[in-house]
């Protein structure tokens, strides 16, 4: 929706990780380089500020997309949700891969993006 100003959220950051294990203070081990033989799933975390905090609930329509270095789509994950007026931060965390370590993710460069409708 080119030309329309977003009124529901402000993008804060995007991080990538490969372990769902939580570290101290609810942190994850974020990184941008992974060893093929240590990776089964790769997860991404998008973080947004909720501009309707303490005002109203609203619906987010979002898909998370991963592409390889030649722009082939690897996955498209639906992240639609209702955003609560009680949440000042909105986290969208999703992952893709297989249970078999080293069998899915190959050597290369991958990009994650969020496609959002509901501005």
Query: Is 3 within the bounds of a domain?
Result: no
Give residue 118's pLDDT.
56
Q: How confident is the model at residue 4 (pLDDT cuts 50, 70, 90)?
A: low
3-state secondary structure of 27: coil
Strand partners, 109: none
Please name the residues in contact with 49: beta carbons below 8 A apart, sequence gap of 6 or more: 9, 10, 12, 88, 89, 90
Please name the residues in contact with 31: beta carbons below 8 A apart, sequence gap of 6 or more: 16, 17, 18
Average pLDDT of the residues in 34-45: 90
Quote the CA–CA distance of 46 and 13 in Å, as a whole number: 6
Average pLDDT of the residues in 72-100: 95
From the number of C-beta atoms within 10 Å of its C-beta (0-12, 13-18, 19+), residue 58 rates as middle
Query: Is 68 within the bounds of a domain?
Result: yes
Query: Is 1 within the bounds of a domain?
Result: no
pTM above 0.85, yes or no: no
Indicate if the pLDDT at residue 31 is higher than 70.
Answer: yes
Cα Rg, the chain, nearest whole Å: 16
Average pLDDT of the residues in 20-41: 83
| Residue 36: DSSP 8-state | G
Give residue 7's pLDDT.
85
Query: Is 19 within the bounds of a domain?
Result: yes
Query: Is 4 within the bounds of a domain?
Result: no
Pairing relationship of beta strands 41-50 and 89-97 according to DSSP bridges:
antiparallel
Supply the range of the domain harboring residue 42.
Answer: 9-117
Give residue 24's pLDDT.
73
Give residue 1's pLDDT.
38
- Using one digit for the tens of pLDDT, what is the confidence trace for 43-84? 999 999 999 999 999 999 999 999 999 999 999 999 999 999
Query: Is 88 within the bounds of a domain?
Result: yes
CATH of the domain at 75: 2.70.50.60
Q: Please tell me the total count of domains within the chain.
A: 1
Structure tokens at 117: 């409708």
- Structural contact between residues 63 and 47, judged by C-beta atoms closer than 8 angstroms: no
Query: Is 108 within the bounds of a domain?
Result: yes
């Amino acid at each position: 929706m080119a030309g329309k100003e977003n009124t529901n959220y402000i993008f804060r950051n995007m991080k990538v990780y490969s372990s769902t294990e939580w570290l101290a203070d609810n942190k994850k081990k974020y990184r941008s380089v992974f060893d093929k033989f240590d990776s089964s799933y790769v997860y991404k975390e998008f973080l947004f500020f909720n501009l309707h905090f303490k005002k109203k609930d609203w619906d987010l329509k979002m898909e998370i997309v991963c592409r390889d270095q030649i722009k082939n789509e690897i996955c498209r994950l639906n992240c639609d949700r209702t955003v609560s007026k009680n949440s000042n931060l909105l986290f969208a965390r999703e992952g893709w891969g297989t249970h078999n370590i080293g069998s899915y993710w190959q050597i290369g460069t991958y990009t994650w993006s969020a496609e959002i409708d509901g501005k």
